[in-house]
Amino acid sequence: MLSRVALALLSINSAAVADNTVMEVIPLHNRPAAEIQVLLSPLLEANDRVVDNGAGLIVKTTPERLESLENIIKQLDTPVANLVVTVFQHSDKTAAELNAEAALAGSGQIIMHGMNADTRDVNNSRDAQVLRTLDGQPAYIKTGKLTPTQNSSQYGSYNGGISASSNTQILETSTGFAVTPRLSGQRVLIDIEPWTDQTDQNAGVNSQTMHTTLSAELGEWVEIAGSDNTGLQNKASIDSINQLIIKGSNIRLLIKVERMN
pLDDT digits (tens, 9 = 90+) for 59-87: 999 999 999 999 999 988 888 899 999 98
* Centroid of chain to Cα 233: 20
**Under 8 Å CB-to-CB from 49, ≥6 apart: which residues?**
12, 15, 58, 59, 60, 61
Per-residue pLDDT band for 119 (boundaries 50, 70, 90) equals: very low
Q: Is the pLDDT of residue 181 over 90?
A: yes
**Integer Cα distance of 59 and 44 in angstroms:** 10
pLDDT-based confidence at residue 116 (cuts at 50, 70, 90): very low
Q: Is the pLDDT of residue 239 over 80?
A: no
Which amino acid, one-letter code, is at 212? T
Alpha-carbon span 142 to 63, nearest angstrom: 53
pTM over 0.85: no
CATH of domain 4-76: 3.30.1370.120
> Which amino acid makes up residue 195?
W
Distance of alpha carbon 238 from alpha carbon 144, whole angstroms: 22
Flag whether pLDDT at 167 surpasses 90: no
Task: For residues 36 and 3, give the distance between their C-alpha atoms in angstroms, rounded to a whole number.
Answer: 21
In sequence order, what are the residues at sequence separation of 6 or more whose Cβ sits closer than 8 angstroms to the Cβ of residue 134? 80, 81, 82, 83
Question: How many Å apart are CA 183 and CA 215, to the nearest integer?
Answer: 10
Could you give the residue range(s) of every CATH 3.30.1370.120 domain in the chain?
Answer: 4-76
Integer Cα distance of 189 and 132 in angstroms: 16
DSSP 226-250: SS----HHHHHHHHHHIIIIITT-S
Tally of residues, the chain: 261
Task: Tell me what pLDDT residue 8 has.
Answer: 54
pLDDT confidence of residue 63: 92
In percent, how much of the chain has pLDDT > 90? 22
